[in-house]
A and B are shown apart, each in its own frame.
Chain A
Amino acid sequence: MDDAVIVSLAGVGKTFKSAGRQLSAVKDVDIEIHQSSTCALVGPSGSGKTTLLGLCAGLDRPTSGTIRVGGKSLEDLDEDQLARHRGQQIGFVFQSFRLLPTLTAIENIMVPAELLGLEDARSRALELLERVGLSERLDHYPAQLSGGEKQRVALARAFIHKPRLLIADEPTGNLDAETSAVIQDLLFALNRESGTTLIIATHDPELAERCQRVFKLHAGNVTEAPQVSQ
């Protein structure tokens, strides 16, 4: 594991207004995540996993505290700078895949690379399709793919621009056990190959166990579980 800190949260809190009351989704979080490490965020529904994930990804802004990703303080970036930052530094895998329904598998994979203006977007996408075992289905639309295939495409898309950080929100939440295992293997394999830092929000204890660090969330409070052996 690289010792450089890629994500650091200092005193991060997030409150929402609901029915006229302030609700704290995340309270005073201090975390440092190192380059190429793997972390899991676990906890019951409504514990703040997704909120914390969104904050790390720069999809949401904290009410208090500072977040630094890849050396950059996110609070200094405006909406579009955040988008550029995500495009350059972060890859995403979602529970509901979030493939663009009107684009083919290969086109979906190419999107982040094209956004960065990478000229070898197609060859990279083909390579990754091969890697996730879908080279025969490159021209298929998401509607023509099974759940597992969709998530493999999503994995390929997440890694195409070689992000420093990969954020996965319940990546196996919509899959059966067998497919889930395949996706987990792929996720960790790709992570190893590219040296990406992985933050996963999950309910799945098996998946969490495969991560180097596990953060438990409860009512917005974060505690780190004892280190598990890899």
Chain B
Amino acid sequence: MNLSFALHLAYRDARRGAGALLVMASAIVIGVAALVSVSSFKENLLEAVEMQTREVLGADLVVRSRRKATKEVSAFLESIPGEKARGISLASMAYFPKSRNSRLVQVKAVSDGYPFFGQLVTEPPQAEKNFRTRASALVDKSIMLQFGLREGEQVRIGKKLFTIEGTLLSVPGGFDMRSAVAPQIFIPLEELESTGLVALGSLLRYRYYVKLPPEINRVELADTLRPEVRELGLRLVSVESRRERLGEIITNVYQFLDLIGFIAILLGGIGVGSAASIYARKKKTFVATIRCLGASRQEALVFFSIQVLVCGFLCVLLGAFLGVLLQMQLPALLGDFIPVQVAVSTNWMSVLTSMTLGVVLLFSFALVPLWRIQRFPPLLTLRSEMEPESSISRSDIILYGAALLLLVAVCVIHVGNLKVASAYLAGFSVVLLLLWLLSVGLRRLLRLMKGEALPFSLRQGAANLFRPFNQTLTIMLCTGTAACVVCVVLFIEKAILARADASMSIERPNMILFDVQSDQEAELRSFFEDYKMPLLSSVPIVTMRLESVKGRPVAELRKKDKEIPRWTLTREYRSTYRRTLSSTEEIVAGTFVSEVSAGSTRIPISLEERIAGNLKVALGDELVFNVQGIALTTYVSSIRKVDWERVSPNFFVVFPAGVIDDAPQNLVFVTRFATPEDGAKFQRAAVERFPNVSIVDLSLILTTLDTVVSKISRVIELFTSFSVVTALIVLAGAVWGTRTQRAEESVLLKTLGASRRVVLVTLATEYLILGVCAALSGCILAVAANILLSIYAFKIDFTLAFGPASVVFLGVVVATLTVGVIGSGGTYNRSVLDTLREIEE
């Protein structure tokens, strides 16, 4: 084989034909950009986590507990070497006297020393030190902005008034999702007691921060401490475990975004395959001529392969460049969800890997059309009308198989998980298969429908969809898939918000008051009456811990039974007692016992089905609970299914009335306000009068959720848009690739007397039908996907989101029509002679 000839010829040909070649490979650009940006950014994130985990954690080790330290725990904590700091966090209401506003916050009471690593960033900067010495508070910037607060104003937490020392700009580990619903307020630890919030039943989270001496090996110490930590019912978070967890989260987010981006590259691949087919067909006589002049099949193949690979590489390079630019924008988009400070830098290894993936994908999609090139016989030079053989040989089958295997291998290697990659490819293939079937059906239907009564241009436009060398299938596949992806994303977005919205429906509660003490019950009830607020329910909560399950002590189970999740054994159960089931529950086994006499030795209880499964207990099994020092022997009399999605106080364990009614307890009050103004007025007054009571305004949560979902959506939509842009490029490529054929048709029609308008309407009809069919197919597939997601993933009733579907439908139709008509290069508008000359060239 004369490689030098093939190289020379490839270069010479590309000088004049570079446009067509670049159009062919350009479909891959966006997909590569998506992969480069997200994979390089992932490496940035992982590097940042590697460097900053101590700053995220604020310490070398953190020991967590939901209980106040017992003597054993204190002794254990004392035994850990190094400097220590403490923190207690709880949810409470913050009341701002000046503006008389209030809102649910996370109070974080921290001792001196915290954080050992990283810092509380405040405005003014010295506020970070001063709030500790002046017994004042640092308030999250979102609250400062929301209520227009200024430094020096006051905030009341529980019973105590704090001066606002400054604005909290950032904390070690960043602000999490919880902070979106309940922003943080920092106070000194020693001031927490005076707020009066450390009452019985309050949900407190204790944290012990440790800064180890440099000579101590952190990993070894953490390993040594773990058994005792488990024994004491605590949790230990080390820099390493946090790093691992953050790494997992980052990888999960990366995989999700990468998979969305991957659709773009696969669509691009289809576009490349289609464009390569058009390109190869255009080069039919070229190949025949060089073969006639003595070039072998291999030389012809190498000649084209070089062109495709070089142009593909250039497009991949462009994609990588765009990806690097896009990567710079990602921190702004993802900033709210990143726990570390990310210095964006290009990770060349990621760029290189993504580029290789792009080139290999491009080649695997272009392989089949390239292979066909060698089938163009040299006899075409004498008989240009003859068509190459269309039969499929054994080598063709081997090649098709190889291309498919290459594609699957690339996908598996890229995703890094055979199961995920298989599911992904299977899903993608199903979508493509369905679109292919729809495309075939459409062409058959159009062929059958003669439409003799229709004007010529409409008939001709429809006929173009099944003419030889039509691009109907490619456009349907790419545009339809893009429409489907966008539609599914919009549907999911709607579904999440609709589900949250459903909880706010007219008959459901929208405000919950918790941490109500027993002695406040009567006063609060009359307070409700004063404000004409309906008290929908008042639910008592008694805290308790599990002592034994089926006669085996919890301590033993924790050591020996690895199948029972630890949290089910060590958690503080916040249980209730009542005579009836609530509207969110239904009995799935046994009988719900409403009341027992106070002297009963074995108490029938109702367990939630999942906790029963976790504890491996069935009807009749015995559980012993420790209710503030008193052991209560119970047995499972019923198992309940609970709709946790409904906003209502739901419980794992429900006791019958008559047993724990007199145990120390607090209450949850559930109500519903009619208007936001009524809600705000009631909340303000309640916080003023009952400072220890926390109030959750569900409408605020909905608004927050809306904001969070919007932020996430923005990121997902960006990655989804890659598929859309790719589909448009493929569409433009298909239009551009067949424009000579269109020009010839246009010339012929004009020569025969068709006006410009007729040619234009013919063209528009073709793309209108194509756009409508692609959009409709994509939307139908999206609806099907959404029905499946509603049933199996979200477990909600399916509702068709007409809004997003209509937007996607119209968008796709308009885009297809516009790109189609504009991309045809105004063939309808040009003179016959000009077009003829162009065709000649």
With A50-B383, A59-B378, A100-B13 already in contact, the answer to whether A115 and B293 are too (CB < 8 A) is: yes
Q: Total interface residues on B, using CB and 8 Å?
A: 33
Asked if B219 CB lies within 8 Å of chain A CBs, one says: no
Asked if A117 CB lies within 8 Å of chain B CBs, one says: yes
97-116 of chain A: CB within 8 A of chain B: 98, 100-104, 107, 111-112, 114-116
Binary contact readout B553-575 vs A (1 if CB under 8 angstroms, 0 otherwise): 00000000000000000000000
How many A-B residue pairs have C-beta atoms within 8 angstroms? Tell me: 91
Inter-chain contact A87/B16, CB cutoff 8 Å? no
Inter-chain contact B377/A59, CB cutoff 8 Å? yes
Inter-chain contact A96/B379, CB cutoff 8 Å? no
Interface centre among B4, B15, B292, B298 (most CB of A within 10 A): B292
Asked if A4 CB lies within 8 Å of chain B CBs, one says: no
9-residue interface stretch from B283-291, B345-353, B518-526, B750-758: B283-291
Question: What residues on B are CB-neighbors of A117 within 8 Å?
Answer: 2, 4-5
Asked if B640 CB lies within 8 Å of chain A CBs, one says: no
Asked if A54 CB lies within 8 Å of chain B CBs, one says: yes
Inter-chain contact B12/A102, CB cutoff 8 Å? yes
Inter-chain contact B4/A111, CB cutoff 8 Å? no
Inter-chain contact A114/B378, CB cutoff 8 Å? no
Inter-chain contact B296/A80, CB cutoff 8 Å? yes
Inter-chain contact A59/B292, CB cutoff 8 Å? yes
Asked if A143 CB lies within 8 Å of chain B CBs, one says: yes
Inter-chain contact A103/B13, CB cutoff 8 Å? yes
Q: How far is the CA of A100 from the CA of B381 in the complex (A)?
A: 12
Asked if B534 CB lies within 8 Å of chain A CBs, one says: no
With A92-B293, A96-B384 already in contact, the answer to whether A114 and B377 are too (CB < 8 A) is: no
Q: How far is the CA of A143 from the CA of B752 in the complex (A)?
A: 27
Q: How far is the CA of A60 from the CA of B665 in the complex (A)?
A: 98
Asked if A188 CB lies within 8 Å of chain B CBs, one says: no
Question: What residues on B are CB-neighbors of A143 within 8 Å?
Answer: 840-841
Question: What residues on B are CB-neighbors of A79 within 8 Å?
Answer: 296-297
Inter-chain contact B294/A83, CB cutoff 8 Å? yes
Inter-chain contact B12/A54, CB cutoff 8 Å? no
Inter-chain contact B379/A88, CB cutoff 8 Å? no
Inter-chain contact A59/B286, CB cutoff 8 Å? no
Q: How far is the CA of A6 from the CA of B772 in the complex (A)?
A: 63
Question: What residues on B are CB-neighbors of A115 within 8 Å?
Answer: 2, 5, 290, 293-295, 299
Question: What residues on B are CB-neighbors of A92 within 8 Å?
Answer: 292-293, 381
- How far in angstroms is the closest Cβ of chain B from A199? 13
- How far in angstroms is the closest Cβ of chain A from B297? 6
Question: What residues on B are CB-neighbors of A84 within 8 Å?
Answer: 294, 296
Interface centre among B290, B382, B383 (most CB of A within 10 A): B382
- How far in angstroms is the closest Cβ of chain B from A193? 21
Inter-chain contact A101/B841, CB cutoff 8 Å? yes
Q: Total interface residues on A, using CB and 8 Å?
A: 33
Residue of A nearest to B840 (CB): A143
Question: What residues on A are CB-neighbors of B15 within 8 Å?
Answer: 102
Question: What residues on B are CB-neighbors of A159 within 8 Å?
Answer: none
Of B289, B298, B840, the residue contacting A100 (CB under 8 A) is B289
Asked if A149 CB lies within 8 Å of chain B CBs, one says: no
Q: How far is the CA of A16 from the CA of B454 in the complex (A)?
A: 41
Q: How far is the CA of A100 from the CA of B290 in the complex (A)?
A: 8
Question: What residues on B are CB-neighbors of A104 within 8 Å?
Answer: 12
Asked if B17 CB lies within 8 Å of chain A CBs, one says: yes
Inter-chain contact B378/A86, CB cutoff 8 Å? yes
With A102-B15, A107-B12, A115-B5 already in contact, the answer to whether A54 and B379 are too (CB < 8 A) is: yes
With A84-B294, A100-B13, A102-B17 already in contact, the answer to whether A114 and B381 are too (CB < 8 A) is: no
1-59 of chain B: CB within 8 A of chain A: 2, 4-5, 8-9, 12-17
Question: What residues on A are CB-neighbors of B289 within 8 Å?
Answer: 98, 100
Inter-chain contact B294/A112, CB cutoff 8 Å? yes
Question: What residues on A are CB-neighbors of B293 within 8 Å?
Answer: 86-87, 92, 111-112, 115, 157
Asked if A219 CB lies within 8 Å of chain B CBs, one says: no
Asked if A53 CB lies within 8 Å of chain B CBs, one says: yes
Inter-chain contact A50/B378, CB cutoff 8 Å? no
Q: How far is the CA of A120 from the CA of B455 in the complex (A)?
A: 62
Q: How far is the CA of A98 from the CA of B378 in the complex (A)?
A: 11
Inter-chain contact A102/B378, CB cutoff 8 Å? no
A-B contact pairs, 23 of them (CB 8 A): A54-B383, A59-B378, A60-B379, A80-B296, A83-B296, A83-B297, A87-B295, A92-B293, A94-B381, A94-B382, A100-B13, A101-B841, A102-B286, A103-B9, A103-B13, A103-B16, A111-B290, A112-B293, A114-B5, A114-B9, A115-B294, A115-B295, A141-B16
Q: What residues of chain B have their CB less than 8 Å away from a CB belonging to chain A?
A: 2, 4-5, 8-9, 12-17, 285-286, 289-299, 377-379, 381-384, 840-841
Given contacts A96-B384, A100-B13, A114-B9, 6 further A-B contacts (CB under 8 A): A50-B383, A83-B291, A86-B292, A86-B293, A103-B13, A104-B12
